[in-house]
Structure 1
């Protein structure tokens, strides 16, 4: 039951450019997930990302009408998941990129493995990481304690966003703010 995930701060326009690069350079198809059971193949239109909470990065040839409605398709077929960046007021929320190496087969009642998803995650994350800088710092706004997170990255746009007085946050976590180390932000 292995899974892998990483977090990053990236602006929506940078994310769009990265999706375009991933589809062309890695022969991937982007699948938009608007609600739990509503998925559709992305046509490359930037505006189609509006209202999308998550995308899946799928190897071309694994996306068809059946896989778009099958709950187990992402893990079973080796798709990588990525949250779509979201800005609310002055807050840019962290995205998570991840994959699962197992899936539940309802027909047999068995947990099945698919390590291809984890391998694909490594290839996809490598492309993300090329556009990111590390580390990010987190500060507890109540105690003011700080920690450095070498595994949480930020894009050049997110650093600029932060430098202009905006905030980097994690959805659902009200007392933690993320900071860009000043020596790393330029």
Structure 2
């Protein structure tokens, strides 16, 4: 799939939980995101409990998971066509209490950048209370977001396995679409 990405603007795939009977059928979503050089839209096999099956690929309300990193900037820029089509866009940064004020200013900058691209967005900084990926899913659920736009940051495989990571947690706990770019 990675080699076919050269002729694609976007890769759409399911969230890989593996195939118990045939491991060769499973898509290595993390590897695909890190190697394809294209944004990846993951579609959950089981939608959020509040969603019907036909809403599984709804992209009406996008939540941009902001972090002041190269990866988040890349994902936001890659998602511009999707964000233009959304009826609502929320930009959210999860930050420590000591960084909340600065996080709010960063989010304001991103919202203004999106508005220059004719995207009506609202933003907020939320205080971190634990797992960042779960906090993003909670905010997405509270705001009715159909898709989370996020930058994919890759750690070493050992560190990801031992400590986990926000990108990994977002994908593994996905009950809504994720637009991820590296």
Normalised by the size of structure 1, how large is the TM-score?
0.28
Higher Cα radius of gyration? 1
Greater fraction strand: 1
TM-score (norm 2): 0.28
